Amino acid sequence: MTRITITRPDDWHLHLRDGAMLKGVLPESARHFGRAIIMPNLVPPVVTGDQAAAYRDRILAALPEGMAFDPLMTLYLTEGTDAEDVARAHASGLVKAVKLYPAGATTNSHGGVRDLDRVTGVLERMAEIGLPLCVHGEVTTHDVDIFDREAVFIDTVLDPLRRRIPGLRVVMEHITTEEGVAYARAGDETLGATITTHHLILNRNHILVGGIKPHYYCLPVAKREKHRLALRAAATSGEGRFFLGTDSAPHVDALKEHACGCAGCFTATNTMQLLAHVFEEEGALPHLEAFTSLNGPRFYGLPPNAGTLTLYKGETAVWPAKILTEAGPVTVFDPGFPVQWHVEG
């Protein structure tokens, strides 16, 4: 197969930032994706329905003429979140998910949740109205090794939470381990899991062997090879539980190439080409559409996009090494191998 046409894809986990960065990176996503779940970890975070409405307006204002893109908004869960405000923002159609960041887990998460008991009321309300919780699934305690933080979170936080509030729809975001894959598979229809493009390509050696590669550092951090293989098997399986969330997370180069470099890989530009490469390698191109365009909308109770996207195989693909935003240059994810897939048009 050297050409494939799929339903226009969506990105179920995307960081667009704000201001000059938003303006610079938004076209990279809007070019290929119909919709995206927009992460709320701005500074300050998007906590209320009013803040989400204002952020959505800023995103649409930054969209270049002639591009179509539907930002699906989320709220950043805090211990002060008002269940009524959440329910209103959901009922109006504005907000499609609420995001749980354990406090301190990742970029701009210090305002996240320290004690889950303090948000039980909000979570119970979300279960009643069918509003999904997107979960950054890592514990943050210093005694847990960073490579174990996802697996420990599943056992000590996620599973108890889902048992306590059984109807709650949960997306395990950017899973990075075979434990994450196994837990997602074992769940019922209230459970979904997103997988990023870069976690299908990187293991931890890519970050650390032969010199530290700041542009491969993201959270959750890439794990051992066996975990990457488990993620590949899950993503390419076609199973409805798994769908694409790129977690494309732009940081300017000055903050990536730094003594204390920010976490995040910027994959908006070449995700679809890289996924075609990965799915072809796995002999699974017929399942690409389920992963990028069908499973996510089904989980969120939305129709698939009306348009299509065509990928074809040709010369070795070249894409810009950096996106030059007015906030500064942002390095585009380099898979480290040649890719022959292109997006038509």
136 binds ligand NCD (CB under 6 A): yes
263 binds, among ligand NCD, Zn ion, none (CB under 5 to 8 A by kind): ligand NCD
Structure tokens that stand for 30 in this block: 């809007």
Tell me the residue ranges of DSSP E strands in the chain: 3-7, 10-14, 35-38, 70-76, 95-100, 133-135, 170-172, 191-195, 242-244, 308-313, 322-325, 328-331, 341-343
State yes or no: residue 176 binds ligand NCD (CB under 6 A): no
My answer on whether omega of the bond before 102 falls inside 30° of 0, hence cis, is no
Which residues, in sequence order, are CB contacts of 31 under 8 Å at separation 6+?
A: 67, 343
Shorter beta-carbon distance to ligand NCD: residue 207 or 263: 263
- In the complex, the smallest distance separating the C-beta of residue 265 from ligand NCD, rounded to whole angstroms, is 7
Choose among 284, 277, 281, 336: nearest CA to 311.
277
Q: Which is nearer to Zn ion, 28 or 247 (CB)?
A: 247
Counting contacts by CB under 6 A, is residue 45 touching ligand NCD?
no
Tell me which residues in 254-283 interact with ligand NCD (CB under 6 A).
Answer: 263-264
Catalytic site residue from 82, 115, 247, 334: 247
Q: Give me the residue label for tokens 């994959």.
A: 267
Which residue of 10, 85, 247, 289 would you call a contact of Zn ion, by CB under 5 A?
A: 247
> Cα separation of 124 and 113, whole Å?
16
Per partner kind, with CB cut-offs from 5 to 8 A, the member of Zn ion, ligand NCD, none near residue 136 is ligand NCD
334 catalytic? Reply is: no
Beta-carbon count within 10 A of 117 CB: 10
Output 108 or 190, the one with its CB closest to Zn ion.
Answer: 108
Residue of the chain from 9, 10, 15, 246 that contacts ligand NCD (CB under 6 A): 15
Nearest-angstrom CA–CA distance, 314 and 336: 18
> Using CA atoms, how far apart are residues 141 and 122, in angstroms rounded to an integer?
24
* Residue nearer to ligand NCD on the CB measure, 201 or 290: 201
Judged by CB under 6 A, does residue 106 bind ligand NCD? yes
* Backbone region of residue 321 per phi and psi (left: phi > 0; alpha: psi in -120 to 50; beta: other values): alpha
CA dihedral 19, 24, 30, 36 (to 10 degrees): -50
Closest separation between CB of residue 249 and Zn ion, Å? Answer: 5
Residues 187 to 246 in contact with ligand NCD, rule: CB under 6 A: 218-219
What binding mask, one character per residue, do residues 25-44 give for ligand NCD by CB under 6 A, x or -? ----------------x---
Output the smallest distance, CB 62 to ligand NCD, in A. 18
Q: Does 150 help bind Zn ion (rule: CB under 5 A)?
A: no
Sign of CA dihedral 119, 221, 144, 173: positive
Residues that bind Zn ion (CB under 5 A): 247
Residues that bind ligand NCD (CB under 6 A): 15, 41, 106-107, 136, 218-219, 247, 249, 263-264
Q: Which residues are catalytic?
A: 247
